[in-house]
Structures are given as C-alpha cells and as structure tokens.
Amino acid sequence: MLNRWLKKLIGKSDSRGVAKKRLQFALVYDKLEVSDEVLIKLHQDIVDVISRYFEIDKESLKLDIRKSEGRSALIVNTPILSARRIYPSVKASA
Amino acid sequence: MDGKVIVITSGKGGVGKTTATACIGAALALENRQVAVVDMDIGLRNLDGGMGLENRIVFNVVDAAKGKCKIKQAAIKDRRIENLYLIPASQSDNKDALTPDIMVRLCKELRKEFDYVLLDCPAGIERGFENSVAPADEAVVVCTPEVSSVRDADRVIALLYARSITPRLIVNRIVPEMVENGDMLSHEDVVDVLSVELLGLVPLDNQVVISTNTGAPLVLQKDSEAGQSFRRIALRMEGQDIPIEIPQAQKSFWKKLGIIIGIGK
Ligand SMILES: Nc1ncnc2c1ncn2[C@@H]1O[C@H](COP(=O)(O)OP(=O)(O)OP(=O)(O)O)[C@@H](O)[C@H]1O
Ligand SMILES: [Mg+2]
C-alpha cells in the first residue's frame, strides 16, 4: 500500500489504477458500443457538471450500464463529499 | 436427492478452469461427496492429463452421447481420491458431436449417481459453452486480475444471467506483491467492476504447474496455497460459512518483526 502511494508521489506508473479505469470504460463500451473517446468525454463532462454543485471524489465516479427488459440505463455513481454553498459560475469551472 | 450440476467457465482461455474443476472436484470428494468431473472441451481433452488419468480412458462423453455406452461406463475412477470420477472428452470428434439437449439428458443420468457434476467448459462463448451451460444449475466463473480476462468474465456473467443462473466468481493467479505495488488489479477492483458474488481467491502458485506435471492432486498438498484455497472454495460450495482469505505477500523479516512488536501493518 505504502509502495503504491510512494510510486504515485514520485510519479511512477500505477498500472493497477490505470487497469481499473480502462476496464470500467471497456465494460460500458462493450454494452453501449460507443467509442472510448466518447465515453471519456462523457465521463469528464459529467464530473464537471456535478462538481459545480457538489464536492465529489473525481477518481471514484463510476459510469455503468444496466440492461433490463430491452432498455439500457446509464447509471452514474459517485460519493459526494459535501455540497457547495456558493455555486461557481458555469465559466469558472475548476 | 438428485445431485447438482455446476459449470465452470470463463470466456477467456487459459485462466484456470481446468485447474479449478480438478481441484474443486477432488476437494468435494474429500468431503465424502460423490463427484463426477466432465471434460467438455471436445477435441482438446485436458482434464484427464491434469488428473493423471490419461492412460485409462475407454469411453468418453461423445460415446455416451452417441449411445455407444452408458454415461456411467465412461466414468473413470480416480487413482488417489475415493468418490472422484472423470468423464473424459473425446479427442477425435468435433464440437458438433454434442448438443445442449443431449447434455441435459446425460446430466439427468449423472445427477442420480453423483452429488456433484462439475462441467469443465471450453474457452469461448460458442457451441461448447452452450453445451456446458444448458444442463447447469449453478455456475462458477473463473478470471484472472487482468483487463482482458475480467472483460470476458463480464460477458459470460451477462450470458449466464440471461439463462437465469446467478454465477459466483473465483479470482485466480493473484500475485499479492504486485497488487501491493499497484501493478495488478486487486480482487476488490475485480469484484467492484463485475458486481458478482465472490466464491474465492486463489494465488499464483508454482505448485499448480508441478502438480499438473506429476498428476498428483494439488488439494492433497498441505503446503500449496492454491490447493488450500480450492479446498476452502469447496467447503463454501457445500454451504459452510468460511470467510474469504486474501492472499498475502510473503512478509520480509523486518515487516514481520514490526507486526510482532506492534508497529505498522
Ligand atoms: N493459481 C495458479 N498458479 C499457477 N499456475 C496456474 C494457476 N492456475 C492455473 N495455472 C496454470 O495456468 C495454465 C492454464 O490453466 P488451465 O488449463 O486450468 O486453464 P483453462 O482455463 O482450463 O484453459 P483452457 O481455456 O485452455 O481450457 C496451466 O498451465 C495451469 O497450470
Ligand atoms: Mg481447460
């Protein structure tokens, strides 16, 4: 565990984290059949929008596709750290 | 009471289905269950070699399908473990020799004789997969902590759900040192992504290869971590409530000392 943080600190690759992200994208992609690029952009946009209202852990936001009775649902799951009191204006997004 | 038919599958090849089938079958037999393991990889038989029974084959599952013998006659008794039987694949026929309907019929026979019928599914999601899943009551999905393997497992899990089977997962070939260093997906990552019930975790273990060389059952080796993991998996399949142990990296002397005197983890 310590090694992992050290690696991150000194900027060495954390291939486990990369693998998990790739995997999550791949699974959504497999079910939706949209390109990786689109998904990564969608992911980023969702993070941006939610961040305007809530403090979220950007790393652990998850996109998921659930299929039920011929319908697909896009499920966004993110832990919320806190609500923002003052909503930053749209332009001034972090 | 009729026995259970359980398919062991993965999508991706080479992740440990055959190893898992042989080990779980042996472990269940050691619990005094009547067990048949069936090699469903028609044309590429494998399970016989792993169990050291390759010289004893008389009939195979395709012979039974064609009515050349009763399915019971194709069962070879294990040399070392009581109550364990192997039904081999045929080496010459192709996959079309079996159909889902025939497998359902053969397994109906086997259920009467055995408490557990374990089907070692071939890789892929084509004919061999269909044949193996059709008669199954339960499914065990095996994957390794690699992107391609987990992705295939996800696909297979969806196919099983579509057949109203809720699979359980074994993560095989875990290298704890690599997980700790951030160079391998952890079992939590895998379970998180697949959202499926975990049946067990099996570390990478050189004893696995040694045991397939010699044909000696892995689960009888007390010093084999993988073998012991499979024994606990078998107990869980028996319904025993055994916590899932996480494969640990071999600790260095200084770390061990640290733990003993109570600093660090
Ligand atoms: N936990 C483990 N530790 C070390 N080696 C392992 C482990 N599990 C499996 N292996 C090795 O990996 C190889 C592939 O295993 P196995 O034949 O069980 O996979 P499989 O999924 O049945 O493959 P296939 O799709 O070709 O049927 C074998 O050489 C086996 O000895
Ligand atoms: Mg195999």
pTM over 0.80: yes
Residue A88 lies in a domain: no
Residue A93 lies in a domain: no
Q: And the tokens for B46?
A: 């494998």
pLDDT higher at B263 or B130: B130
ipTM value, please give it. 0.70
- For position B95, what pLDDT does the model report? 66
Mean pLDDT estimate for chain B? 92
Inter-chain residue contact A27 with B151, CB threshold 8 Å: yes
Query: B265 to chain A nearest CA, in Å?
Result: 10
Domain total in chain A: 1
Phi, psi of B10 (to 5 degrees): -160, -20
pLDDT of residue B260: 60
Q: Which of B10, B18, B23, B232 to mutate to test the pocket of ligand 1 (most atoms within 8 A of CB)?
A: B18
pLDDT of residue A32: 73
**Percentages (nearest 5) of helix, strand, coil residues in chain A:** 50, 20, 30
In angstroms, rounded to a whole number, what is the distance separating the alpha carbons of residues B119 and B6? 6
Tell me the C-alpha distance between A72 and B191, whole Å: 22
Residue B224 dihedral angles phi and psi, to the nearest 5°: -95, 115
Of B151, B180, B189, the CB nearest to A30: B151
pLDDT, one tens digit per residue, over B183-215 is 999 999 999 999 899 999 999 999 999 998 888
Give the position, in ligand 1's atom list, of the atom nearest the Cα of B142.
Answer: 21
B182 against B92, higher pLDDT = B182
Query: What domain range is A25 assigned to?
Result: 2-83
The DSSP output letter for B249 is P
* Nearest CB to B150; choose among A3, A17, A23: A23
Judged by CB atoms closer than 8 Å, whether chains meet at B185 and A1 is answered as: no
Dump pLDDT digits (tens) for B135-186: 999 999 999 999 999 999 999 999 999 999 999 999 999 999 999 999 999 9
Domain-embedded: residue A73: yes
> Domain locations in chain B?
4-260
Q: Is the per-residue pLDDT at B110 higher than 70? A: yes
Tell me which of 1.10.10.10, 3.40.1370.10, 3.40.50.620, 3.40.50.300 is the CATH number of domain B4-260.
Answer: 3.40.50.300
Distance in Å, CA B209 to ligand 1 centroid: 8
Q: Which of B143, B148, B151 best tests the A interface by mutation, with the highest count of A CBs <10 A?
A: B151
